[in-house]
Amino acid sequence: MRLATFNLLHGRSLTDGLVDPDRLTAAVTALDADVLALQEVDRDQSRSGKLDLTAVAARALGAPEHHFAAAVVGTPGEQFRPLTHDDDGHGEPCYGVGLVSRHPVRTWQVTRLKPAPVRSPVYVPGPGGGLTLLHDEPRVVLAAVLD
């Protein structure tokens, strides 16, 4: 079984900053993972073309099983709110994690975590950048039991 993890960076390319579903599909296909864990995943976000990036990854792997778990409704760094339950945020832009599997999934488990109580130092590149303290966001953990 081949396991992989991929930080999608909202689907944005590091080379030109664009979100291109064909490039994302090619990158995921090249991983050839049986189970793929995804971080920094957008669903219905304007910045990523309103795509469901977990579904794009599942199609790229020919994986029948996939699940997206939102941590927030809205856009991090702009306006967002914590997700309150699994049925929250439908029809709104969401941001979180995803899990894709070529193997049948018996159960999915979503665990919601509160933001860290302290601000975190983050390096921001470019003019006017540097080390800055940011407030944390709510987090989410997604797990699956596979057949």
Once rounded to an integer, what is the mean pLDDT over residues 11-29? 91
Q: Which of 135, 40, 47, 141 is nearest to 93 (CA)?
A: 47
pLDDT, tens digit (0-9, with 9 covering 90-100), for 102-138: 999 999 999 999 988 998 888 877 788 888 888 888 9
At residue 144, the pLDDT reads 98
pLDDT, tens digit (0-9, with 9 covering 90-100), for 35-66: 999 999 999 999 999 999 999 999 999 999 99
State what percent of residues in the chain have pLDDT above 90: 65
Query: Among the CATH numbers 3.40.1190.20, 3.40.50.1980, 3.60.10.10, 3.40.50.12500, which is that of 3-146?
Result: 3.60.10.10
Q: Is the pLDDT of residue 24 over 90?
A: yes
State what percent of residues in the chain have pLDDT above 70: 99
- Return d(Cα 44, Cα 145) in angstroms, integer: 27
DSSP calls for the chain: --EEEEE-GGGB-TTT--B-HHHHHHHHHHH--SEEEEEEEEES-GGGTT-BHHHHHHHHHT-SEEEEEEEEEE-TTSSEEE--STTTTTTS-EEEEEEEESSPEEEEEEEEEPPPSS-EEEEE-STT-EEEEE----EEEEEEEE-
Confidence of residue 91 (pLDDT cuts 50, 70, 90): confident
Query: Is this model's pTM higher than 0.75 or not?
Result: yes
Once rounded to an integer, what is the mean pLDDT over residues 64-71? 96
The residue among 102 and 82 whose pLDDT is bigger is 102
At residue 84, the pLDDT reads 74
At residue 38, the pLDDT reads 98
